Every structure is written in C-alpha cells, then in structure tokens.
Amino acid sequence: MTNSATAQRVSVLGLGAMGTALAKALLAGGHQVTVWNRTAAKAEALADAGAVAAATAEEALTASDLVILCLLDDASVREHVEPAAARLSGRTVVNLTTTTPEQARGLGRWAAEHDIALIDGGIMAVPAMIGTPGAFVLYSGAQAEFERYRQVLELFGKPEFVGADLGAAAMYDVSILGGMYAMFAAFQQGGLMVRSVGGSAARLAELMTPFLQAMATLLAADAVGIDMPEDFTQVQSDEFTAAAIDLIDKAAVESGNPTELFGVLRRTLTGL
Ligand code: FVH
C-alpha cells in the first residue's frame, strides 16, 4: 500500500476488463484515481470502490498529472485525446491500449507537438494477473517520465523499459505474442496428429509442456545468432533442420492433417 505522502492523482480512461483491473490496482495502492468509461455504468462500479467517476473523457484527462489509457485501439485513443490536446499539455500519458509500433510513434509525434510526455506500454498479462508476480508490462518512450512514475506502474506488474523509440514496446509485445501463437498453432496441429494414432491432445500437452519449457531456455543462446551473427556458432545445420521439419510435414500428411505450417517454419528457420 502506498502511503499518503507518495499517493498520486492518476486517471484511467477505458474500463473494460483490463482498464478495470488497472484502476483497482491503483486504488489498492492508495492512489487518488479518477476514471472514465464510454459506458458510464462501469465507472460507477469503480466509484463504489473509491474512484472518482468523471462525467467526460476530457474531465478525466485533465484531473491528474498521470493519465493511463486502456481503450480498444488507436482510433478510440485518438478520438478522445485529440480534442483535449491543449489541456493535456505538461501531463504524462501512458497508453496501454494495444497498437502497432507505427501507431505508437504517430501518437508520439502528435504528443510532442502538444508538449505531452508519452509512454507507450504493452501489457503481458490477462486482467486477473494484474498486480500479481507473473505480470509484466513493457514500456517505451519518455524514459525520465517512466522513472518518475515507476512506483505507480509497478502496481500493474513488473515494469520493463525497452527503449526510447515509442514503437519499441509494441514491437516487443507483438513479437512475444507471435511466439505464443506459433506455439499454439504447432500444438493444435500436433493434437490432431496424435489423435490419428489413438492418442489425445491432453496426453500431448502433458508431454510437450516440459519439453517446450526446456527448449525455451535455449532462446538466449539463439539470440546471439540474430544479434551478433559473426560471433555465432550454429549447432545444427540448416540442412539438418530442414530435413527434420520435412519429416514432421510428411507425418502430418500421413495422419490426414496436411498444413502450411511446416513449410512456413522451414523457410523461416532455414531459408531453404
Ligand atoms: N484483456 C487482455 O487480456 C489484454 C491483455 C493485453 C492488452 N490488452 C489490450 O488492452 C486494451 C483494453 O482491453 P480490454 O480487455 O479491457 O478490452 P474490453 O474489455 O473489450 O474493453 C474495451 C474498452 O474500450 C472502450 N472503447 C471501445 N471503443 C471505444 C470508443 N470508440 N471510445 C471510447 N471507449 C471505447 C470500451 O468502452 P465500453 O464499450 O465499455 O463503453 C472498453 O472500456 C486493448 O487495447 C487490448 O488489446 C488487453
């Protein structure tokens, strides 16, 4: 719990599943929280928990020095911040709405024109994880402002600053999500394949989970091949990897579950 000496005024705009979790974490941390949501009922629920419900987005945007945005997308952010530009001047805005890196940079150019300090963020957690040790949030942009508000941001999850480029947090975010989707796609495919031999996806999950956990520890070594290829000694040749993936593809065809997945993996990993 933050004591009253360090309590800050913080506004949260957007009280969907995630914005509500963020606002609750701020309230639990002892901050003075102003909230706004397009559908007012969600703000009223938080008012019962101690937040001040603003009547308009502009009222919320100008109630605090620190403004957290957790709206649907870049368009909904623009819709509400642009009309308030002059009154947002001098404040710090942390945009936790998922956007592309270029959308984050575009908002940054607009913010710079209006003397607004902008931090972009990517939340690596689901709402139920907010404030728990498993949650972390990527940030990029105005580093001095990030440091200034670090203790507040820590209430959401471990803050990870990834660069001054406003597009950096979004780029790390989508890259991590890409890893997740690739894993789920391969599991989906494998689940169908093992069922063709009388097995089950549940048994595959049991066996695949510890193997993938062990493989994940090799990512740091693999990173050398991307960051510093001149220092990298490849353990497995591209030809070996391509042949291994071709064999998996053949097994998929034999099981009646052909897919484009393995061709894509082969080209991405080996260029062959
Ligand atoms: N939920 C999650 O697990 C993920 C984790 C990673 C980050 N995302 C991003 O967080 C943003 C908000 O996500 P959310 O889960 O809170 O989403 P919803 O529950 O669908 O709430 C959406 C809120 O946005 C408001 N909204 C939508 N359009 C507008 C608009 N044009 N003007 C003003 N507000 C708008 C919506 O309001 P309402 O429908 O209640 O009136 C909600 O407050 C998102 O970028 C995720 O990608 C969450």
CB 117 within 8 A of CB 94: no
**158 and 178 belong to one structural domain:** no
The response to whether residue 76 sits with its C-beta less than 6 Å from ligand 1 reads yes
Determine whether the shortest distance from the Cβ of 15 to ligand 1 is under 6 A: yes
Q: Which two tokens stand for residue 187?
A: 């599991």
Residues 151 and 235 in one domain: no
Say if residue 183 is in the same domain as residue 129.
no
Residues 72 and 182 in one domain: no
Q: Are residues 126 and 42 in the same domain?
A: yes
Q: How far is the CA of 230 from the centre of ligand 1 (A)?
A: 44
State whether the beta carbon of 39 lies less than 6 angstroms from ligand 1: yes
Same domain, 128 and 16: yes
Is position 1 within any domain? Answer: no
Please check whether residues 54 and 131 belong to one and the same domain: yes
Q: Is the CB of residue 18 below 6 angstroms from any atom belonging to ligand 1? A: yes
Kindly give the distance from the C-alpha atom of residue 122 to the centroid of ligand 1, in angstroms, as a whole number. Answer: 13
Q: What is the pLDDT of residues 21-31, one digit of tens each?
A: 999 999 999 99
The CATH number linked to 90 is: 3.40.50.720
Q: How does pLDDT run across 40-52, given as a tens digit for each residue?
A: 999 999 999 999 9
Do 144 and 116 touch, CB atoms closer than 8 A?
no
Residues of the chain with pLDDT under 70: 1-5
Domain count for the chain:
2
pLDDT at 1: 45
**Spatial separation of the C-alpha atoms in residues 49 and 31, rounded to whole Å:** 12
Q: Is the CB of 126 under 6 A from ligand 1?
A: yes
Is residue 193, in this structure, part of any structural domain at all?
yes
Q: Whose CA is nearest to atom 11 of ligand 1?
A: 97
The pLDDT score that the predictor gives to residue 233 is 86
Same domain, 150 and 190: no
Decide if 230 is inside a domain.
Answer: yes
**16 Cα–ligand 1 center, Å:** 5
Distance 268 CA to ligand 1 centre (A): 33
Question: 150 and 27 in one domain?
Answer: yes
Domain boundary among 130, 164, 198: 164
Residue 4 lies in a domain: no
ipTM of the complex: 0.99
The residue from 121, 146, 164 where one domain ends is 164
Residue that has been written with the tokens 């999500």 in this structure? 177
Strand partners, 68: 12, 94
DSSP assignment letter at 89: T
Q: Are residues 239 and 157 in the same domain?
A: no
- Answer yes or no: is 2 within a domain: no
Q: Which of 71, 79, 107, 136 to mutate to test the pocket of ligand 1 (most atoms within 8 A of CB)?
A: 71
For 14-35, letters b (16+ CB in 10 Å) and e give bbeebbbbbbbbbbebbbbbbb
Other residues' Cβ atoms within 10 Å of the Cβ of residue 167: 20
What CATH number has the domain bearing residue 206?
1.10.1040.10
Chosen domain end from 140, 164, 188: 164
The pLDDT value recorded for residue 3 is 44
Residue 234's pLDDT is 85
Roughly what angle, to the nearest 10 degrees, separates helices 168-195 and 261-270?
Answer: 130
Q: In what order do the strands lie in the sheet with 136-141?
A: 52-53, 32-36, 9-13, 66-69, 92-95, 117-124, 136-141, 158-161
What atom of ligand 1 comes closest to residue 20's alpha carbon?
A: 16
Calculate how far, in angstroms, residue 18's C-alpha sits from the geometric centre of ligand 1.
7
Q: What torsion, rounded to 10 degrees, do the Cα atoms 174, 147, 18, 124 define?
A: 30
Record the tokens describing residue 196, joined without a space.
């063709």
Atom 29, ligand 1: which residue's CA is nearest? 76
Verify that 15 and 139 share a domain, yes or no.
yes
pTM of the model: 0.94
Query: Which range of residues forms the domain containing residue 144?
Result: 9-164
